Structure 1
């Protein structure tokens, strides 16, 4: 999912007033600001041939695009580029006098609605947001997923169904699994019906369960499982280990701890393994980061775990998977370390 971050916002200015507005924003946020050669000021970048060409190029490079200019012009330029609400960048349009900030594209998952409110607040502009859940002052399933960094099977259909139920006045329950009970405090849950016990359900039309589990109890209604990405795995392995073997053992480790595969947030290893093809391929296949730690970093925590002199002679530290998982999860390890066929794997849960 594409969540707009301040450091990946590109701003496009078409007039002198637009440049002045962008300068006001740039004084408060880290932005990449683009304008024409004749309007160029210090700290700004020139258009590459034209506004349209530059905006089209930026569409695939930045998490968020802000156009200070016409909504119609912006729509005409980006229309051929729009593909998917889960991957398109946030697009916000601001009029050159700074009176209105309009959330145009990817309001929830892309973060355009949140960015619109932020920019409007900085400029003293009126935010214009038209998504149904926001207009009705309700949360949305895709917003909740973004806040939790969570995944879900058939996410697109689930978002469409749950958000439609919410804005139609239907009762959608929201249940949090025990390890995640602190999460609601930082999430927008307006419109959802709080559910404390799956064995004592109130009258509902559907239920969203926030859980890391691979299975939930059978329930007599429509259930959607939202899975926060919290599980990390430290991995040590021999040179030339196959992707098939790594995948098989990882799936077994997740299943043994009853974790949904969608809960996997990252894999990690020692820096010496940065070029290990199977580890790179595993991260790519799961679309998760591959985090690396130096031997010095791991050495600070190896006393907590059994050490292997063979491993020490090979990588400079007596243990890899356990201290890696320890660092990735801030010490929240789960289950036993797997040791098989020259591979070690240790799971942890981050927050």
Structure 2
């Protein structure tokens, strides 16, 4: 999923008026500004080859692209690169007089709607947002998912279904598991019907549940789990352990602690294991980061856990999975450490979005 970070916004301007507007925006936002050689100003970057070539390169490097240009030009230049609403960056277009700011692409998942409102506020411009949920002043499931850094089975189809139900005035409930109930007020949930208890539902057409659990009580209405990515796994293993062995043991550990596999946020290990095929394949298959920690980083927390002299002689620290999970979860470990077939796995739950 593509979530806009302020430091990853590329801005393109094609005219003197666009350059002047970009200079105003640079005072308020950390932007990387591109323009042509003949319009170049201090702090701007010249197009590399051509405008289209520069946009093509930026499309995969930045999470948001802002254009001070005609909408038609922008549509033509980005059209060959469009792939997927879950992958494409936010695209925002504005005129050089700063009268209108248009959310053109990836309004929800990419954050273009939010960025459009931010830019419009800075410029006292008119934000142009056309997504149905926003027009109807309702929350959107994909926006909520992006804010929570959450996902779900059949994400694309479920988002389409739930958002359509919301704008059609159907009754969609929203239940927060105990781990998230305390922060529910931070999120835009307009249009959803709050649900406090799964055993006493109000009249609903569907129910969305924010949870890490692998299973919930069955309901008589369609139930969709929105799973925040919060679970981390510190992993140690012998060299050349088979990838399927590590994968099976991780799934076993997740199941033992009743975590949905979709909740997995990252795995971590010691520097010596940074090229371990089983761990690299695991991270690739789950599409999650593989965090690497030095011996010194792990040693700071080694005293908290039982140590193995064999492991110390092999990697330089007496424990790998537990201090790695401790660091990734800020000390919030869960369950027992699994130790089987030369593999150790420790789970933790991170509170970071």
Q: Where does structure 1 differ by over 3 angstroms across 4 or more consecutive aligned residues?
A: none
Counterpart residue number, 2:21:
21
Counterpart residue number, 1:39:
39
TM-aligned CA deviation for residue 57 of structure 1? 2.6
Structure 1 residue 135 corresponds to structure 2 residue 118: no
Once residues 26 and 255 of structure 1 are traced to their aligned partners in structure 2, the CA distance between those partners, rounded to angstroms, is 49
TM-aligned CA deviation for residue 254 of structure 1? 0.6
Counterpart residue number, 1:258:
258
Counterpart residue number, 1:273:
273
Counterpart residue number, 1:314:
314
Structure 1 residue 92 corresponds to structure 2 residue 92: yes
Q: Normalized against structure 2, the TM-score is what?
A: 0.97
TM-aligned CA deviation for residue 27 of structure 1? 2.1
Once residues 136 and 205 of structure 2 are traced to their aligned partners in structure 1, the CA distance between those partners, rounded to angstroms, is 19
Counterpart residue number, 1:284:
284
Counterpart residue number, 1:237:
237
Counterpart residue number, 2:325:
325
Q: Structure 1, residues 307-346: CA drift from partner, whole Å, max 9, x if none?
A: 1111112222111101111111111111110011111100
Once residues 31 and 267 of structure 2 are traced to their aligned partners in structure 1, the CA distance between those partners, rounded to angstroms, is 31
Larger displacement relative to structure 2 (296-305 or 197-206): 296-305
Specify the SS of the correspondent of 1:104: strand
TM-aligned CA deviation for residue 50 of structure 1? 2.3
Unaligned 5+ runs, structure 2: none
Q: Structure 1, residues 279-302: CA drift from partner, whole Å, max 9, x if none?
A: 111111110000111111111111
Specify the SS of the correspondent of 2:66: strand
Specify the SS of the correspondent of 2:20: helix
Once residues 24 and 272 of structure 1 are traced to their aligned partners in structure 2, the CA distance between those partners, rounded to angstroms, is 48
Unaligned 5+ runs, structure 1: none
TM-aligned CA deviation for residue 183 of structure 1? 2.9
Specify the SS of the correspondent of 1:307: coil
Counterpart residue number, 2:339:
339
Counterpart residue number, 1:12:
12
TM-aligned CA deviation for residue 48 of structure 1? 2.2
How many residues align? The count is 351
Once residues 226 and 183 of structure 1 are traced to their aligned partners in structure 2, the CA distance between those partners, rounded to angstroms, is 15
Once residues 115 and 50 of structure 2 are traced to their aligned partners in structure 1, the CA distance between those partners, rounded to angstroms, is 25
CA RMSD, Structure 1 to Structure 2 (Å): 1.1
Specify the SS of the correspondent of 1:142: helix
Once residues 78 and 302 of structure 2 are traced to their aligned partners in structure 1, the CA distance between those partners, rounded to angstroms, is 52
Q: Normalized against structure 1, the TM-score is what?
A: 0.98
Counterpart residue number, 1:120:
120
Specify the SS of the correspondent of 1:33: strand
Specify the SS of the correspondent of 1:127: strand
Q: Structure 1, residues 129-169: CA drift from partner, whole Å, max 9, x if none?
A: 11111111110000000010001000111001100110111
